[in-house]
Each structure stands twice: as C-alpha cells, then as structure tokens.
Amino acid sequence: MQLWVGLGNPEPGMARNRHNIGFMAVDVIAIRHGFSPWRQRLKGLVAEGMVGQHKVLALKPQTYMNVSGEAVQAAASFYKLAPEAITAFHDELDLVPGKVRVKRGGGAAGHNGLRSMDRMLGSPDYWRVRLGIGHPGEKERVLGYVLGDFGKADRDWLVRLLDAVADAAVLLADGESEAFMSKVALLAPPDGSSG
C-alpha cells in the first residue's frame, strides 16, 4: 500500500488557499480514480482506491499544516508503512505556477508541513510532489501569499495542472517519477506569467 498525503489546512475558509494545493491534488486523484468516499480517521480524512495496480490510501490531515506529521505518522504506524511508501503533495514557492517536480528526501525548505512530517516520521526519506505556486517576490509577503486564495487568473493553469496530475498518477504509483513529471508537463505546460 502507498500513502498519498495532501498537505493543507482544514478550515473551510482556507479551501482555495495556495497552501491547500496538496488537498486539491489528492481530491482530484480520488475522484478520477474512483476512490471510496472520504471519512474521518487517523487524525485526518482518508479515502482508499486503486491507482493502476497499486492500492493507495489518500490522506488529508485535519491537524492544520504545522502539525500535519501527526496524521501522517498515525497512518504510517497503523499500516506499518516505511517513509519510502509515503508521497506528500505540497505547494512549492520555488517553482513557477504549474511546474511539478518529484523528489525523494531532502530538506523542508521552510515548509512547515514537511518539517512536521520529518519530525514525526523521524526521516525525510519520503517522496514529495512539489506543486509550483510561484513566489510573491519578497520574503515578507510569503505568509500572506500562501494563505491567500488562488485568483481568477490562476484558474486555467490550476485546473489543467490538477487534471494532469490525476491523469499521470499511475506513473507516480508505478515509481516512474521522471515519466510522471514529463507527462504532467506535456498535459499542463507551466504558466510562468501567473502568480
């Protein structure tokens, strides 16, 4: 089994925040691949399904971003999953809007959700699907930017990106991260003009 974690904040008023693109990604994957309905469990909302030949548990922590690791650790412990069976979908300031990068391990780069996961799992050795949201320009504006809603101008690239991630998800489940990134880029070319 693989654990696919969307990072975000559970407040209904934050649903459209840039910081919640991880929630959005697992929502679209769950719909596209016919997962079970979401239900409250393991300090989060979970849905199960098959992505290609792989059983996947999707998780949206309901603990708030800064302590996301509590829900991830609860799920990993319950299902006895090693960090390399876990994939986190999260917003990435250092990528232009719509650009996707996949990597295993690495630093948290200031992302509190990843920092919490590192701490609770005791290892940074899980997979990350970095979903580009662009950078506001100045460091002082970052918090307001990530906690701000996507704008109308973002809608086209965002919908294209989420659809492409769901369409290419089988490659990700198969461990074909390079092919996954290539397919997403082909289906949803990044839009450097937004953000």
Number of helical (H) and strand (E) elements in the chain, helices listed first = 7, 7
Residues in contact with 21: Cβ distance below 8 Å, sequence separation at least 6, in sequence order: 8, 89, 90, 91, 131, 133, 158
Residues in contact with 166: Cβ distance below 8 Å, sequence separation at least 6, in sequence order: 25, 28, 29, 31, 32, 33
Cβ burial of 103 (10 Å; 0-12, 13-18, 19+) is exposed
- From first CA to last CA, the distance across the chain in angstroms is 36
Q: Do residues 17 and 149 touch, judged by C-beta distance below 8 A?
A: yes
For this structure, is 135 an active site residue? no
- 138 residue type, one letter: E
3-state secondary structure 70-114: HHHHHHHHHCCCCHHHEEEEEEECCCCCCCEEEEECCCCCCCHHH
Of 19, 33, 111, 135, which residue is the catalytic one?
A: 19
Q: Provide the annotated active-site residues.
A: 19
